Structure 1
Amino acid sequence: MTLYTVFGGKGFIGTEVVRQLRVSGVEVSVPEKEDKGIFERNLGTVIYCVGHGNCKKNPFKVLNANVFLLNSLLEKANFEKLIYISSTRVYMNQTCSAESSDLIISANDERRLFNLTKLTAEEMCLKSGLNTCIVRPSNVYGVALNSPLFLPAITRDAINHGVVNMYVTPSYKKDYVSVLDVAEMIVKISKKQKLNGEIYNIASGVNVSAEQIANVLQVETGCKVSWHSCDNNEHFPVVPISKIRDEFGFSSRNVLDDLKSMVNDFKKVL
């Protein structure tokens, strides 16, 4: 039986990857933290979903999660293939967001450590000479009750408090992709025999504004939306998905349609 080892398999993306893999009938291992046995057994196909993004409160955890464990696996572990989960945030404030685009780090980005560690991890995969590839999901959404991510957080506020505080402008735009789509594509990519250091964007290919999201929440929950002044200097170019669409026939769900379903799902459990 095909063996998979999913690091971060209890996190938001990892949980869905594990679920879809097990539905497909393969054997899946989810190592606990500090499991030293990972360097003593065959890990099969590794999917690296470990990550941390709170650069202000815990920069050491950002570095450890995004780079250090991965580095140990590349250097010491026995596996057939490895897929590293990076992020389309590396395209922030760029003019182009194709997989082959040159990338720069913004000096005024308070979370630049996140981008730096993701790019470092990507480069370690590419330079390792091993059978690896990189996926860059855009902003992943889904029903995650306790998630601090933007969409789950404002959906909870809309339902629980009747007020959504927006600390971005109405025109602020980003790409959103369903965790179901992300996991499905990771599983499909993992079936390739040779990964060849490929990089894949996993995104919807369309930027959605904060105002569009606020309008859906107002209609579905009757909440009030409060727009606060902000100094946000983030700009995200539209993420092209032609590579993954052409190779795998990928098409994504629509976040505005799914947001209506998310509200109903949240109401059932909150």
Structure 2
Amino acid sequence: MALYTIFGGRGFIGSEIANQLKGLGEDVFIPARDDKNIFERELGIVIYCAGNGDCKNEPFSVFEANVSLLAKLLEVAKFTRLIYISSTRVYMNQKQSNEKHDLTVCEDDNRRLFNLTKLVAEELCLKSGRDVSILRPSNVYGAALNSPLFLPAITRNAISKGKVDMYINKTYSKDYVSVHDVANCCIKISNNKNSLQKTINIAAGYNIRAEQIADLLQANTGCEIIWHDIDFPNEQFPVTDITTLKMLIPNYTPSNVLDDISDMIISFKEKMTLER
């Protein structure tokens, strides 16, 4: 039985990792906020899921969560290995998504602080001299009924309101990866020596257009899709390269978000019927 310390273990990704580890019989420690003992006790394998993306309202908290705490852990904490959860958002408006490809930060991106802090954190990990791995998940989704995430939210609206407001272009496309797949990969990579000092994309490996999701919701619920003509920020994402991940986990077979949305609709209908 190994000891895992999960920073951000009560959040969306962190809680799924914790649940999977507990199911495997591992010892899981989730530190409380401002727990000073984290710099004194043995932490085992650290999985750093803590983060903040509210660059408009909480810029200093973004820096603290994404960089400051991590930096101190890398400098003084007692751990055997650290997995840092970054993001494929750093590939926004780039031509490629290979982990070794040069990256630029977009001037007109209102969340560029998020990208910058993620990249600073990644570099701190690699320059720390500690045993680290960096994971860049794509857009993570889950099937929790009350989740505020995009996919569960529009699925609820399709069922309960009979309509879905889409404030993006029909052709807007992203790679979607399930939280279950992210957690599973994270655990496997934490035990893979070949992943040390590597940056690894975790994704489905293909993009899904907003129109595909909307058509699926309409076909399964009969809802109305309302496309709003707004000045949407320039956000384009290349197909995420998962070559490195497939080398480390050859049997990796990610869930298809469209299949999961169909299952989500069935599950949500049943749960929402019971709540009435």
Please confirm whether the aligned pair reaches a TM-score higher than 0.5, indicating the same fold.
Answer: yes
> Percent identity among equivalent residues?
57
User: Which residue in the other structure is 2:238 paired with?
Assistant: 237
When normalised by structure 2's length, the TM-score is 0.94
Q: Distance in 1 between matches of 2:143 and 2:210?
A: 19
User: Which residue in the other structure is 2:113 paired with?
Assistant: 113
User: Which residue in the other structure is 1:255 paired with?
Assistant: 257
AA at the equivalent of 1:247: L
1:220 equivalent in alignment to 2:201: no
The structural deviation recorded for 1:75 is: 1.3
User: Which residue in the other structure is 1:148 paired with?
Assistant: 148
Work out whether residues 195 and 248 of structure 2, in 8 Å CA contact, stay in contact via their aligned partners in 1.
no
The structural deviation recorded for 1:84 is: 0.3
User: Which residue in the other structure is 1:131 paired with?
Assistant: 131
Work out whether residues 7 and 49 of structure 2, in 8 Å CA contact, stay in contact via their aligned partners in 1.
yes
1:1-270 correspondence to structure 2 within 5 Å = 1-193=1-193, 195-232=195-232, 233-249=234-250, 250-270=252-272
Q: Distance in 1 between matches of 2:194 and 2:29?
A: 22
Q: Secondary structure at the match of 1:201?
A: strand
AA at the equivalent of 1:267: K
AA at the equivalent of 1:75: E
Work out whether residues 131 and 195 of structure 1, in 8 Å CA contact, stay in contact via their aligned partners in 2.
no
Q: Secondary structure at the match of 1:22?
A: helix
The structural deviation recorded for 1:268 is: 3.5
What is the aligned length?
270
Q: Distance in 1 between matches of 2:73 and 2:220?
A: 45
The structural deviation recorded for 1:52 is: 1.4
Work out whether residues 4 and 43 of structure 1, in 8 Å CA contact, stay in contact via their aligned partners in 2.
yes
> How large is the RMSD of aligned CA atoms in angstroms?
1.3
Q: Distance in 1 between matches of 2:194 and 2:104?
A: 29
Return 5+ residue gaps in structure 2 as ranges: none
Q: Distance in 1 between matches of 2:33 and 2:236?
A: 35
Q: Secondary structure at the match of 2:226?
A: strand
Superposed CA offset, 1:67-94 (max 9, x none): 1111111112100000000000000000
Q: Distance in 1 between matches of 2:269 and 2:82?
A: 38
Work out whether residues 87 and 135 of structure 2, in 8 Å CA contact, stay in contact via their aligned partners in 1.
yes
Q: Distance in 1 between matches of 2:93 and 2:128?
A: 29
